[in-house]
Structure 1
């Protein structure tokens, strides 16, 4: 990897997550429903009926309890050490933010309309998905191929474990993974072999369809 190994965005993301978590605690507690709603957790009726679409973005910065943020922060820090040098600082940040929104969109379309959603794991699954794509596309690189396989295995294992954890938003995780798989073709670093023009166009179309369908279903179900 020829890019600088200083992972500015990974550090920034983790710091921001903890700043937001401290704010949650100071305002009444990270497990307080009113605090979570006030700060931007996803709540499908509010998103659709009150046009609070910004919640799809803000929810990825909120966490419910110390274990929630600790586990996500550790995973982001670990994966970011490898993903950020591959995608570059800005692309990594865009991948993180867009995957977070993408994960929340699938939750909007098919999730429980009476539950609150929060957490960076939607974005985290997107990063893992994008890493898997880069590894697949760069099979001649032992390092990238290995990292891609590891990221995909980690995502699949966690999705399987989600089945047995009723309080976990498996739809958000799956949506983040899908978003990351598609975004990898658009945000890939020029340093490594990437998809061609038509593959990028296909990824763009699929991503647009994903957004339109999930938004439409979310509006129909939650009205």
Structure 2
């Protein structure tokens, strides 16, 4: 009886093999066999694997469905996993340019001294609405950034301003940061006097610091995580205002310059971000060229200021 049953079962298996044989469904890399096997198992298709050759076989009656499922799986996962989306690069440039600039500000203050009515440096280089608007002494828009009313004014700009400028340089590159910051601050100084009806005088690097804060903010306006990324620049701005005060101190500093510095920086940051220039910080030669341009711009402006005032006024300082 058992022998007859065995013979019957063997004959039945042979008949199934002849009627519905195993056929090739796919030939893949051995590393993909496991995933494709899971696909076929999920839809209930019996299959066999040959791990050495990477072959998957199925019954002929299910071969069309099996190949459809495998083809669909491959198409849906063609680009999986997706490539990593990296955040904008945090450019790791050296801190030497920023250090050089702020050391220069300190040494320059040691030469010029504090604000005095008869000090030729302030007479020639301070923002003066009359001299700029009526006499076209545009260089004052920049030379004023290098002058400081007193040591407290200088310390405030160097401490908080140094941190902000250093971070900006490491984010978009030293050359881009310094040139963009100076140009934004110059525009801010111009707007601050052009929109006034009274005469105005001011000095100080704080306008450029607020421009740096604005550039930081402007770069983030079109991106995500806005609030988190603005904490540092906005906090720096509040801290600088607390140290410098927000009103006119003897006509030397004012809120208008700070406000316009922030606004012009915002616009500059947006332009840099839209043009992709804020992502060029890892191009060393470009950054060196832009930083050199910033130095040349400062030097030329002071040469024009000294020339207009008369070099003899500065002989005791030089």
Work out whether the TM-score is over 0.5: yes
**Structure 1 stretch displaced more, 118-127 or 37-46:** 37-46
| Aligned match for 1:22, one of 90, 95, 110 | 110
1:12-71 deviation line (CA, Å, top 9, x unaligned): 22122112211212xxxx121232433400111111222211111111111000000110
1:10 aligns with 2:98: yes
Aligned pairs (5 A) from 1:1-223: 1-25=89-113, 30-35=114-119, 36-111=121-196, 113-139=198-224, 146-155=228-237, 165-167=247-249, 168-188=253-273, 189-190=278-279
Which segments of structure 1 move beyond 4 Å, counting only runs of 4 or more? Answer: 156-164
**Root mean square deviation of aligned Cα:** 2.7
| Equivalent-residue separation in structure 2 for 1:99 and 1:67 (angstroms) | 24
List gaps (5 residues or longer) in structure 2. 1-88, 282-318
1:140-159 deviation line (CA, Å, top 9, x unaligned): 5xxx8634233135436766
| Equivalent-residue separation in structure 2 for 1:122 and 1:164 (angstroms) | 12
Distance change >3 Å, CA 157–CA 53, structure 1 → 2: same
The structure with the largest strand share of the pair is: 2
Shift of 1:134: 2.3
The structure with the largest helix share of the pair is: 1
Distance change >3 Å, CA 18–CA 39, structure 1 → 2: farther
| Equivalent-residue separation in structure 1 for 2:241 and 2:94 (angstroms) | 30
List gaps (5 residues or longer) in structure 1. 193-223
Distance change >3 Å, CA 14–CA 112, structure 1 → 2: farther
**Structure 1 stretch displaced more, 98-107 or 117-126:** 98-107
Shift of 1:139: 1.9
Shift of 1:182: 0.8
Give the equivalent residue in structure 2 for 1:195: none
| Equivalent-residue separation in structure 2 for 1:131 and 1:70 (angstroms) | 22
**Please, what TM-score do these two structures have when normalized by structure 2?**
0.52
Distance change >3 Å, CA 159–CA 22, structure 1 → 2: closer
Aligned residue pair count: 185
Bigger RCO of structures 1 and 2 (CA < 8 A, at least 6 apart): 1
Distance change >3 Å, CA 8–CA 187, structure 1 → 2: farther
| Equivalent-residue separation in structure 2 for 1:129 and 1:104 (angstroms) | 15
